[in-house]
A and B are shown apart, each in its own frame.
Chain A
Amino acid sequence: MLSTQLNTYLFIGAMLFGFGIFGLVRRPSLIGMLISAELVLCGASVNFMAFNNFLAPDPTVGQIFTLFIMAIAAAEAAIAMSIVVAVYRNYKSIETEDLVDLQG
């Protein structure tokens, strides 16, 4: 039975993490990288929830940690959005290759 085994969930988590890294390297735009970063966070959450259900003596810890990861992900998305907007105002582009100037 797939749904009662810890390894299935760990594999799903690892796969989401891998997809996230894949997208982070491949995407040429800031928003694409933001989307991939959310996938990485989700992979970590799935791992926490799997260990929480199968191995933790206190099964509330993993759920609460996952809730905190969600809150951090929401904060990260808000800040990343404002950075994207600020970058777009300065460069009129959100491609990573165009963002080569530093301003001291």
Chain B
Amino acid sequence: MNLSISPEAVPLIREGIFVGLIIVTVFGALLATLAKRMTRAVLGLVVCFLGIAGIYYFLNSPFVALMQLLIYVGAVAVTICFAIMLAEPDERKLAAKTPGMAGPLAVLLGATVTWVLAGTAIKAEWMAPAVKINEGSVKDVGVSLLTTYSMVFELVSIVLLIAILGSLVIARSGRDKAEC
């Protein structure tokens, strides 16, 4: 059996994968915003992040795609799962509640924001750069992280440390009150 793909079919397959990724992203975002159960909303968020990781791969950044999987799917989604487990949202009460005025208002606001942002972006005339000074490969990203952006790189780790300490302090304070 001959499994080789003709060179003409490669762009078509590429395009098909890209459209599939967009559909996955939109489906995930819809699930994340509309699902009645919070666990399903988190699952939708994960699906959406997977689609976005694929889109990053199409933008010539495999490193950022990998980081998207590691940080968002691996850390942020798990953190939200912990929040659901620790706070036990009352699913039946939440599901029974109708959005009321918030529903149409949310659709209107979301549609307006999307329309204005997309319209502005598509109407504007973007200037392509005359010359690119590097390829944007993983090696280039590493070099600039440790030269031009080394200070910010260190500061981000301090921000993360403070965030961990701060979240411990905030989550602990309620506990003291419950005990006395």
Q: Would you call the interface of chain B mostly helix, strand, loop, or mixed?
A: helix
Q: Which of A31-88 contact B (CB under 8 A)?
A: 31-32, 34-36, 38-39, 42, 45-46, 49-50, 52-61, 63-64, 66-68, 70-88
Q: Is B121 in contact with A14, judged by CB distance below 8 angstroms?
A: yes
Q: Using Cβ atoms and an 8 Å threshold, which residues of chain B touch A61? A: 144
- Which A residue's beta carbon lies closest to that of B118? A14
A20 to B: closest C-beta gap in Å = 8
CA gap between A77 and B168 in the complex, in Å = 13
Taking A38-B45, A59-B135, A78-B79 as contacts, is the C-beta distance between A70 and B106 under 8 angstroms?
Answer: no
- Give which listed residue, A6, A9, A78, contacts B55 with CB less than 8 A: A9
CA gap between A17 and B109 in the complex, in Å = 11
Give the size of the chain B interface in residues (CB under 8 angstroms).
Answer: 94
**A12 adjacent to chain B (CB < 8 Å):** yes
**B9 adjacent to chain A (CB < 8 Å):** no
For chain A, give the interface size range. Answer: 35 or more
A4 to B: closest C-beta gap in Å = 9
- Give which listed residue, B68, B114, B156, B174, contacts A89 with CB less than 8 A: B174
A55 to B: closest C-beta gap in Å = 6
Which 3 interchain pairs have the tightest Cβ spacing?
Answer: A59-B136, A22-B110, A18-B114
Give residues in A with beta carbon < 8 Å to B: 1-3, 6-19, 21-32, 34-36, 38-39, 42, 45-46, 49-50, 52-61, 63-64, 66-68, 70-90, 93-95
